[in-house]
Structure 1
Amino acid sequence: MDNEKNKTERIRLDETLKLLFDVSKPLVINIVNYFFNESFDVNQKYDVEFMATESADLNMELRKADLLLKIGGKQKFHFEFQLNGERFMVLRMFDYGYREAVKDTGTEDIPTIYFPKQAVLYLEEGRGIPDELKLKVVYPVTDKGKQEIVYTVNYFSETYADLKLSKEVSEMTEYIYTRGKAEGRAEGIREGKKEGIREGIKEGKAEGILETAAEMLKKGLDIELISEITKLPKEEIKKLQDKINNHNN
């Protein structure tokens, strides 16, 4: 019973993190900067595109990544959320990265492919989490000798990333709760006015929570999970769901 409960809680954590990435584009920049050691200017507006995550392998079977995004119309970033260790995770990452890369081979005489930057986020401590994610790729021997590369994927376990990740999740949650007054809050932040920030939070919180709950319903999250995240009563969420269904019909 306890194992089933823990499994459910882990799945909910997984779903929540994916949702937070999806509804809070400005804060995605902070997370990409951290996990990929990038230097995107957090004060600059970037085109953040959440890309289709399904692609077919050589056997024409659909494979799906957890999160694939493009920033500024150029660089791609691929995240996988793992609840525990998986022996061949690096093979899966290489496979997905390759299939994404060959979608665009460039226009030069020699086809060129670019792998997305990749990271695996382990959401809890547990058995089987590797010390490193590396894959050695050895090409056939030619007149130039043997060619080999070591393919490395960044990974972050709870023990390494929990402090930073919890901070970002906290910021994301605050952001989506108050997005009804996001512009006012952003103005307050730019001008350094703590009064403006507090006022934005106060005025936008109620509206922002309802907007967040509506987004969660549209993405198929269950009412119990939405209630846990937003602290809204289940009855109110059910009414919101009925309203959305009636609007769609």
Structure 2
Amino acid sequence: MTKLSVNVNKIATLRNSRGGNNPNLLQVALDCERFGADGITVHPRPDERHIRYADVFELKAAIHTEFNIEGNPKEDKFVQLVLDNKPAQVTLVPDATDQLTSNHGWDTIREQSFLKDMISLFQKENIRVSLFVDPLSDMVKAAKDCGTDRVELYTEAYAKDFHQDKVRAIAPYLAAAKTAKELGIGLNAGHDLDLHNLAYFAQQIPDLLEVSIGHALISDALYLGLQNTVAMYKRCLGAWQ
């Protein structure tokens, strides 16, 4: 079954809006694990507007499932944060410093030399590396040349087009997934996956190893409760089997 990694950025955003420690980020992460999540994801940004660097150390020390840290390796502070914490996985994302949220994948052709160096640096510390890429076979092929362990397909376009034509929406992801499988690269996915579009995505791409979901899952939990919501997302990932 595809693993579910819960991104807890939005919990940190809510906490930071009032100061203090309510909601308790660490407790929410531990509860997500207890409710069935297979991993916890964080995406710290330089301004610490949601996840703080101190949060990463606290989470690494406490969680029991896989820990995934996302971010841009062009930021020296991010690189050091990953090396200090040695998560199970680092997902490299080409976000600008002031970017609201991720909105594109790496150009793995143009950035190949830089990415090779970064991937090698993390792999030497036994950290699995995933590159955030658009669903383009050329980008997946070049990611292989970079030496990455996995790619994470950026799924905003799929989510946007899903309700109009799900077959057309999934097509580029099927092609990218096929390329990844042929090259022996592990496959992750994330961004705007939710209770409406997740099951179909997982059904069509059976080699999918992991999805990272935050915004939609936390939003659903406001209405459905966190425990129930995690279970519902897990069912989406296993309903087709």
Higher RCO (C-alpha under 8 Å, 6+ residues apart): 2
**Structure with greater Cα Rg:** 1
More helix by share: 1
TM-score (norm 1): 0.28
TM-score (norm 2): 0.29
